[in-house]
Structures are given as structure tokens and as C-alpha cells.
Chain A
Amino acid sequence: MKRKIIPAILIASIAFGSCSSGDTTIESGGTIKLLAYDAFTPEPEIFTSFTKETGIDVIVSLGGDTGTLVSKALLTAGTPEADVLWGVDNTLISRAIDGKLFESYEEVDTAAVCVNYDKDYFAKNDIAPPVTLMDLALPIYKDMLVIQNPVTSSPGLAFMLATISKFGVNDWEQYWKSLRANGVKIVDDWTSAYTVEFSGSSGKGKYPLVVSYGSSPPAEVVYSDPPVTEPPTAVMEQTCFGQIEYAGILRGTKKTKNAQKLIDFLTGKIFQESMPLTLFVVPVNPDAVLPEVFSKFAVIPQNPLTLDAADISSNRVAWLDTWTNIMLR
């Protein structure tokens, strides 16, 4: 029996192996696949100029939240499903490096994850908006904050890391216990938190405090209907955690040259200048000029809370475990 099985396996593997050899493409023109997180919403026709210049078509595919995106990419490191990956941030970059995910990678933007508040709500109820992380645990702000589950959401993770950065590895757990006692609402993703549960945005939900970005207020102005000149929301600057996002060429792609061209485009002036009002992040290219509405209303903290990438990498799973045990069990 055994003797017959081994050839069968060999035949099977040859048959399957031959399917994969069709991928070799000559590197002129053609297509390139850009894998990004679900929230990747660039200007609709932004890649047209790139295609005109290089003859390369860009296919964008979305792979879930950042955590899932990176973990799934790591499971297939070396035989990637795309050529370029957009959106690994500083909370995950060490894992990506350890897992040899990239051939090369570059910084593409920065952002700040901060608690936002509904200005109207606090004005109407004559309550001073909270200022510090500690304030969020005060009884006066009971049942007001909605956050994302850090297991499934990258702003959720950033906010959890902000508290570890602020209170230290010894006291952050206590802080979360008091947040839980103060009625914090937990949802799976940013969209649910910001556009459904938060009272200051389109969903007109019940919660006047939400974990979002330092650049959320300009987004409120850009997307407002009817138009407004002042955002209805503001940022608690002391709660901001600094996020850096990277894009990289996935190791194992056969289209390295074209992938590099795309990376150059993503870090180039055209794309970088489009980012503030589409992705609501801060460009890293010094030549990129910020739109007025962005520079006027976005909060770009000078010294945001932060943690060492290697530190995050080695403790992330344990911290998430601890957090889950405190908040969800």
C-alpha cells in the first residue's frame, strides 16, 4: 500500500505545482496587486496618472482590518497573494519584520489615534469636556465613551497602547478596570464606533466620546451635509497615540521592479497630497502641501504617547489577553 501512496503524492504535487508556474509575467506594463486594509479609500482615479506613466494597472484588494491583514499576510509570507502591501503600522511592523514579510518597506504616513468628543453635547449639558485619559474614568463621564476592540481594530489597539504608555505596565490594568466600571462601550471596528455609536457624527448615536483620529474633525467638515465651516467635534490632545504606517514590497513577488515603482508613486507628491482628505493621514513626503481645512482642524500632536515597536511586538499577545480578560469576560 505504502509504495503506491508515495507516487500518488508525487503525481499530485507535480500536478498542483504546475498550476503555480503560470505566474511568471514579463515586467513591462501588466498589472500589480496592492493589498490594503478595509479602510483604504484613496481618491477614486488616483492611480490613473500612474498607469498612464508606467503602463501598469493597479488592482486594489482589501484584506480586512489591519491585524487580520498582517496576520494573514504573515501566514503566506514568501508566497504572497499580492505584490505590495499598504498599511502595516508601528504596532505591527516588528512582527512583519520578524516574519520576513517584506522585501523592503517604507514609511508612508503618520496619524494620531485620539479620543474625539461631540462639542455640542458637552455645551448643551454644561459639562466640561474631558482632557486627560484619567478623566475618562471619572463618574461625570459615565456611559459616554465608545471604543474599538483592540483585537479586531487598529485604532482600538493604538488606544490600548496609549494607556500602557501613559500608566505603565503596572497600572494600566487598573485603569481599564475603572473604565469598565465607568460604562465604556466596546464595538468591533472604527466604522461602528464612529459612524454609528458616536453622537457627533453621521450616526447620531448615544456616545459623545469616541476613539478616533486627530484628523477626524477636518473629515467632519469635508463630508458635512449641509456644509459647515467649523467641525462639530474636537480632539482630546493628551490622549493621542502616534501611529506610523508603512507600505512594503511583499517578499516572493515576481514583480519587484513594478512594485518599487508603485511604492515610489505612493510616497510621491501626487499621492501624498491626496491622502489628508481621503485617508485622513499626515503625509511623510516633505514636499506635500497640506490642504487648508486639514492644517486648520486636524490635531497633529508634537509629542504623542508612544511605545517602542520591539516592546509592542514581544508583549502584544499577552497585553491583548489581559485586556480581553478585563473587558470582555
Chain B
Amino acid sequence: MDKHHAAMKQTLATLRRAALVSSVLPAAWLIVFYVFPLGNIFSRALSIDAFTDILGNSGIRHVLWFTMWQALLSTALTLIVAFPITWACSRWQFTGQRFVIGLATAPFVLPTVIVAAAVRATLPQQMSSGITGILFAHVIFNLAVVVRIVSARWQQAPPNTAAAARTLGASAWKTFWLVTWPMIRSAVVGAAGIVFMFCFTSFGVIKILGGPRYSTIEVEIFTRAVQFGDINTAVALVLLQLIVIAIVLGLTAPRDEFGKKIRVHRQSHIRDYPRQRRLVLASVYATVLFVGTPFVFMFVSSFRLHHRWSINAWRHLFDGTLDSIGVDVARAMSNSLFFATLTVAITVPLALCLACASAYSSSPSVRRLIAIFVGAPLATSAVALGLGMIITFDQSPINWRSHWFLLVCAHCTIALPLALRVLAAPLQSIPATLRDSARTLGASPLQTWRKIDLAIIKRPLLICAGLCAAVSLGEFGATSFLTRSGNDTIPTTIARLLGRPGDIVQSSGYALASLFVLLIVGVMSRA
């Protein structure tokens, strides 16, 4: 017995050691491609007067103000629009529920450029740029955040408390306010914080829908660095933006533990409640309609040319018509696929190393360190990362500014935290007894890991690969900085097409965006 006990202990110790050693690789990766570039931005921003200059610049104050109010308004609207479907899905059960939720939350995995393109195709011409479109796109994109986070919590709220309140004579509104709201409040606040962050750092949406007039800090960073050539102001803006995000996330982060064992209460099936049935279905289908319509419009627009039906926009994607404006769609597609493949090949192993280190480590401080290390890139805007990389890798022997692989490095750094999230939870949830029994039956530590851990996370690994591919395929912010002529990806090409006048070019932009939606849906459904 003692011998067995020692062997079990040894297995865990071996795994722990192996995980720690292998986590050196992802740690080195993050230091080189995240800490260095961002550190460089900070040291530059702090050593120049630009930081005080930007606060004195009325134009930048205006941008800051716009960024702030549009983010607040977008967040509020997202919460309002998301409420009915969140309520319906948290409290009720109905046929096709998973499918419908999938539809309503799908835009979140799409590139912001595509969501913006869809909104643009929907709005009438004179409104194609402006605040309406921006808000519309932000709501569609972020709806998923609220639905997922809030309904996960709402499902834990015991329904009988609310029922008891109703029985005691409280109105529906009062019941919600006094009973349900206190239970879901922290989830709502947490979701609002994340939505605010996404809207505050909005780039693709503003690039497509903002026109010359509207600019967020994120867009201003790009404009300053790439169009003005004013790097100092750009780095100061990055710092300013990070400060605001840190404050907001600090204020809204949920206080209670995540991943705690929770009890999900059984939802009532609407079939048994004919009175509620209509309301539930109406909330769900109205939301799906709201989210789906722009994509239908985009698809339809790709078949419209000079006010007539035509498939020419699709044909022009590949027949060389767009060469004259420097757009090569076939090249962009092969670039995107190539970058996505590399991103998967690099990120998945890195994430696996980190997930193992976090799962097998006995010390909570290692886990916390990994969580912070990996969460930080999520809170950093992609544009900031792109800028940081450009101003960092500019000296021999790391003069990589004009190399395509820097783009892949950026994609990997952005995908890594998400990939880790997918892998860490299932690895942590493997009960120690499983490994112990394998060990008792005579398996070596490596065998144990292969047959148990790896077998259990096979599906999460696939999901992780799909996610990394989706991140790379859709990435726009960092790519805008790092792309060189001939390296255009699908999102940068769509932005170029939509940024140019002319019916053919615009419709081709919608055609490419539609094609891309199909591609992403294909990748995600495989994963």
C-alpha cells in the first residue's frame, strides 16, 4: 500500500516537474512577444512629454470623450437588447434552445470587420457611416457576452424563491428587483465591464462605419502612428487607454470565485406554461431576427450591382478585376489560411504547456501568476500590441518589422489566453483518483498522462485549435499594423474594398465578407 502511495505521489510530482519545465516555452514566448513590446511602449510613453501633450490637445480630448460615451451607450443598449433572450434562456426550456442561442451569439466569433460590413449593408446609404451603425454593430457583436455570462448565473438562482415572492403578493417587477436582481447583479456588472472594454477599444467597427468623423482612441492610435507618422502621441494614447481599461475592469470584475461547484436548477419547459410560451418565443425569435438580419442583407447586397441582380461581384473576386486597385483576393485567402495554420500549430502546444503547469501545480501562486500572465494580453488592445511589436523589433538581430512571421507571432499572442481558457478547466477537473488507478495498474507517468489527461482533453484540444484559427482568420487590429504589401489577409482586404467607392468594389467587399462567414462557420462547426 505504501509503495502504491509513493508511486502515485511520484506520478503527480513527475507531471508537475514536466509541466513546469515545458511552461518555460510559453513564458518565453509571452516575454518576447508581449512583455517586451508593451514594456517598450510604456518606457517610451513615460519618457516623453506626449502624455501631458495629449491631455492638452482638444482634438484628443474629443476622441476620448467620444470613445467613452459611445462605449457606455453601447454597453447599456447591449444589456437592454440582451435581456429578453437571457431571461428566456435562463428560466425556460424549449425545443431548439441550443441552436437558437448559437445563432444569436454567433457574431461574437466573427471578425468585427465582418459584423461592421453586415451592418453597413443593412443601413441606408446616407447612414452608412455614423453613430447608428456603430451602436448597432457593437450590440450585435457583444450580445453573446451578456447572454453567456448572465444566463450562466441566472440558471443558478433557485426559481422557487421567485415563485414564493409572487405567491406572497409581490408584482413581477418587484420580484425581479428584490429577488432575482441581487442574485444576478454581479454577473450583469461583470458582463457589462467586458462589453464596455470591447466597445472602448473598438477598432474594426469604427474603421468601417466611423467615416472621417468618428474616431475612438484605438483608431486614433492607428491614425497617429500610420497616417500621421506620430509615434510619440500613439504610444501615449496606448498608455492612456490601458489605464482606463484597468480601472473599469478593476471596478467590474466579479468578486466571487469562478469555477466554484455550482448547482444549476432545472428550468421549466415552456410546453407546460402556455401563458408564458408566447413571450418566451417572441423574445428569442426577435433577438435572432435582430442579429441575423444584417447578415442576410450583406449576403443579398453581394448579389446586387447597379440596382440589378448579378453574380458578377462574386466573379470579380477571382477574375482579376480587382488587380487594378491592388487587391488580390486569392492571395489574401491563401495568406489567411497559411497564417491561421501556423497560429494553430504554435498556439495549441504553448497553451497545452501552460494549462498543464496550471493544472498540476500545487502552489496557488503559480496558478495565479499564470492567470494574470495570460489574462493581461486579453485586456491589451490588438492595435497596441501591433504598435509595440513594430517599435520593438526594429534593431538587428531582431529586426523583424517587415517579416510576415511577426504577424503570426501577434496572432499567437492574442490567441494564447483564449486557448488556455479552453484547455485549463477540463485538465483541472480530472480527478486525481483516475491517475492513481492508472498508476496502481502499473502505467508509467507518461503513459498515465497520454491515456488519461490527453484522452480527456481531446475534444477541448480540437475546440482550442478551431478558436485559434478563428482568432487568426479574423484578427484586424494588430494585422493592420503588421501587414505589408502582398501580405493582406481577408479582413484587411474586406476593409480595403469597403473603404473604396464604386458599386463593383463595394459589392465585392460584401461577397468576400459573406464567403468569410461561411468559412468561419465551417471551421467552428468542425471544432
Chain A residues near B (Cβ < 8 Å) = 1, 4-5, 8-9, 12-13, 16-17, 19-20, 35, 38, 41, 61-63, 67-68, 70-72, 74-76, 78-82, 95, 149, 151-152, 186-189, 191-192, 195-196, 203, 316-317, 320-321, 324-325, 328-329
Residue of B nearest to A38 (CB): B326
Task: Judge whether B365 is part of the interface by a CB distance below 8 angstroms.
Answer: no
Q: Would B227 and A68 count as touching, CB distance under 8 A?
A: yes
Q: Which residues of the partner chain B approach A203 to less than 8 Å between Cβ atoms?
A: 501
How far does the Cβ of A228 sit from chain B's closest Cβ, in whole Å? 22
CB contact under 8 A between A329 and B59, given known A80-B402, A191-B501? yes
CB contact under 8 A between A67 and B212, given known A9-B28, A9-B32, A195-B501? no
CB contact under 8 A between A5 and B226, given known A16-B400, A17-B397, A19-B405? no
Q: Tell me what chain A mostly uses at the interface: helix, strand, loop, or mixed.
A: helix
Cα(A3)–Cα(B325), bound, Å: 51
Q: Would B62 and A329 count as touching, CB distance under 8 A?
A: yes
Q: Which residues of the partner chain A approach B502 to less than 8 Å between Cβ atoms?
A: 191, 195-196
Query: Which of A4, A70, A75 contacts B390, CB < 8 Å?
Result: A75
How far does the Cβ of B396 sit from chain A's closest Cβ, in whole Å? 9
CB contact under 8 A between A325 and B58, given known A67-B227, A151-B228? yes
Q: Would A188 and B24 count as touching, CB distance under 8 A?
A: no
Task: Judge whether B398 is part of the interface by a CB distance below 8 angstroms.
Answer: yes
Q: Would A76 and B401 count as touching, CB distance under 8 A?
A: yes
Task: Judge whether B368 is part of the interface by a CB distance below 8 angstroms.
Answer: no
CB contact under 8 A between A63 and B501, given known A12-B32, A80-B402? no
Query: Which of B24, B62, B228, B402 contacts A79, CB < 8 Å?
Result: B402
Most chain A CB atoms below 10 A, which of B27, B233, B484 = B484
Chain B contributes a number of interface residues (CB within 8 A of A) equal to 40
Task: Judge whether B223 is part of the interface by a CB distance below 8 angstroms.
Answer: yes
How far does the Cβ of B404 sit from chain A's closest Cβ, in whole Å? 9
Cα(A41)–Cα(B56), bound, Å: 42
Cα(A12)–Cα(B350), bound, Å: 14
Q: Would A75 and B401 count as touching, CB distance under 8 A?
A: yes
Residue of A nearest to B224 (CB): A317
Q: Which residues of the partner chain A approach B58 to less than 8 Å between Cβ atoms?
A: 325, 329
Query: Which of B24, B405, B485 contacts A16, CB < 8 Å?
Result: B405
How far does the Cβ of B386 sit from chain A's closest Cβ, in whole Å? 11
Q: Would B485 and A63 count as touching, CB distance under 8 A?
A: yes
Q: Which residues of the partner chain B approach A70 to less than 8 Å between Cβ atoms?
A: 229
Q: Would A187 and B57 count as touching, CB distance under 8 A?
A: no
How far does the Cβ of A183 sit from chain B's closest Cβ, in whole Å? 15
How would residues 318 to 343 of chain B score, 1 for a CB under 8 Å from any chain A CB and 0 otherwise? 00000011100000000000000000
CB contact under 8 A between A71 and B485, given known A5-B24, A13-B397, A191-B500? no
Cα(A95)–Cα(B230), bound, Å: 11
Q: Would B228 and A320 count as touching, CB distance under 8 A?
A: yes
Cα(A81)–Cα(B402), bound, Å: 6
Query: Which of B32, B59, B325, B405 contacts A325, CB < 8 Å?
Result: B59
Q: Which residues of the partner chain A approach B500 to less than 8 Å between Cβ atoms?
A: 189, 191-192
Task: Judge whether B261 is part of the interface by a CB distance below 8 angstroms.
Answer: no
How far does the Cβ of A320 sit from chain B's closest Cβ, in whole Å? 6
Q: Would B212 and A62 count as touching, CB distance under 8 A?
A: no
Cα(A328)–Cα(B227), bound, Å: 16
Q: Which residues of the partner chain A approach B59 to less than 8 Å between Cβ atoms?
A: 321, 324-325, 329
Task: Judge whether B307 is part of the interface by a CB distance below 8 angstroms.
Answer: no
Query: Which of A13, A151, A152 contacts B398, CB < 8 Å?
Result: A13
Cα(A170)–Cα(B233), bound, Å: 25
Cα(A41)–Cα(B324), bound, Å: 7
Query: Which of B28, B57, B229, B485 contacts A5, CB < 8 Å?
Result: B28
Residue of A nearest to B227 (CB): A67
Query: Which of A82, A196, A329 contacts B501, CB < 8 Å?
Result: A196
Q: Would A5 and B27 count as touching, CB distance under 8 A?
A: yes
Task: Judge whether B158 is part of the interface by a CB distance below 8 angstroms.
Answer: no
Cα(A57)–Cα(B223), bound, Å: 34
Q: Which residues of the partner chain B approach A9 to less than 8 Å between Cβ atoms?
A: 28, 31-32
Q: Would A35 and B324 count as touching, CB distance under 8 A?
A: no
Residue of A nearest to B486 (CB): A61
Cα(A192)–Cα(B506), bound, Å: 12
Query: Which of B27, B212, B402 contacts A186, CB < 8 Å?
Result: B212
How far does the Cβ of A29 sit from chain B's closest Cβ, in whole Å? 21
Residue of B nearest to A192 (CB): B501
How far does the Cβ of B50 sit from chain A's closest Cβ, in whole Å? 11
Q: Would A71 and B501 count as touching, CB distance under 8 A?
A: no
How far does the Cβ of B399 sit from chain A's closest Cβ, in whole Å? 5
Most chain A CB atoms below 10 A, which of B24, B32, B485 = B485
Residue of B nearest to A328 (CB): B213
Q: Would B212 and A35 count as touching, CB distance under 8 A?
A: no
Q: Which residues of the partner chain B approach A61 to less than 8 Å between Cβ atoms?
A: 326, 485-486
How far does the Cβ of B52 sit from chain A's closest Cβ, in whole Å? 15
Q: Would B227 and A82 count as touching, CB distance under 8 A?
A: no
Task: Judge whether B457 is part of the interface by a CB distance below 8 angstroms.
Answer: no
How would residues 399 to 434 of chain B score, 1 for a CB under 8 Å from any chain A CB and 0 otherwise? 111110100000000000000000000000000000
Task: Judge whether B225 is part of the interface by a CB distance below 8 angstroms.
Answer: yes
How far does the Cβ of A25 sit from chain B's closest Cβ, in whole Å? 16
Q: Would A1 and B24 count as touching, CB distance under 8 A?
A: yes
Q: Which residues of the partner chain A approach B397 to less than 8 Å between Cβ atoms?
A: 13, 17
Cα(A72)–Cα(B324), bound, Å: 21
Task: Judge whether B499 is part of the interface by a CB distance below 8 angstroms.
Answer: yes
Task: Judge whether B127 is part of the interface by a CB distance below 8 angstroms.
Answer: no
Q: Which residues of the partner chain A approach B229 to less than 8 Å between Cβ atoms?
A: 67, 70-71, 74, 95, 317
Query: Which of B25, B223, B325, B405 contacts A8, CB < 8 Å?
Result: B25
Q: Would B226 and A188 count as touching, CB distance under 8 A?
A: no
Q: Would B24 and A152 count as touching, CB distance under 8 A?
A: no
Q: Which residues of the partner chain B approach A195 to less than 8 Å between Cβ atoms?
A: 501-502
Cα(A214)–Cα(B306), bound, Å: 31
Cα(A113)–Cα(B325), bound, Å: 22
Q: Would B57 and A321 count as touching, CB distance under 8 A?
A: yes
Please name 26 pairs of A and B residues whose Cβ atoms are closer than 8 Å in the assembled complex, sorted by A: A1-B27, A4-B28, A9-B28, A12-B28, A16-B398, A16-B405, A19-B403, A62-B485, A71-B226, A71-B228, A72-B226, A72-B484, A74-B229, A75-B226, A75-B390, A76-B484, A79-B402, A81-B484, A188-B211, A189-B501, A191-B502, A195-B501, A317-B230, A320-B228, A328-B212, A329-B58
How far does the Cβ of B349 sit from chain A's closest Cβ, in whole Å? 14
Given contact pairs A17-B397, A62-B325, A81-B485, enumerate 7 new A-B contacts (beta carbons under 8 Å). Answer: A4-B28, A19-B405, A38-B325, A188-B499, A191-B500, A192-B501, A195-B501
Q: Would B401 and A79 count as touching, CB distance under 8 A?
A: yes
Query: Which of A1, A20, A328 contacts B403, CB < 8 Å?
Result: A20
Cα(A149)–Cα(B485), bound, Å: 23
How far does the Cβ of A259 sit from chain B's closest Cβ, in whole Å? 16
Q: Which residues of the partner chain B approach A196 to less than 8 Å between Cβ atoms?
A: 501-502
Cα(A216)–Cα(B470), bound, Å: 45
Q: Which residues of the partner chain B approach A68 to less than 8 Å between Cβ atoms?
A: 226-227
Query: Which of A5, A62, A81, A321 contacts B326, CB < 8 Å?
Result: A62
Cα(A74)–Cα(B390), bound, Å: 11
Q: Which residues of the partner chain B approach A188 to less than 8 Å between Cβ atoms?
A: 211-212, 499
Q: Which residues of the partner chain B approach A149 to less than 8 Å between Cβ atoms?
A: 212
CB contact under 8 A between A4 and B24, given known A76-B402, A191-B501? yes
Q: Would B403 and A35 count as touching, CB distance under 8 A?
A: no
Cα(A120)–Cα(B402), bound, Å: 50
Cα(A76)–Cα(B25), bound, Å: 28
Residue of B nearest to A197 (CB): B501
Q: Would A152 and B27 count as touching, CB distance under 8 A?
A: no
How would residues 330 to 371 of chain B score, 1 for a CB under 8 Å from any chain A CB and 0 otherwise? 000000000000000000000000000000000000000000
Cα(A78)–Cα(B223), bound, Å: 22
How far does the Cβ of B207 sit from chain A's closest Cβ, in whole Å? 11
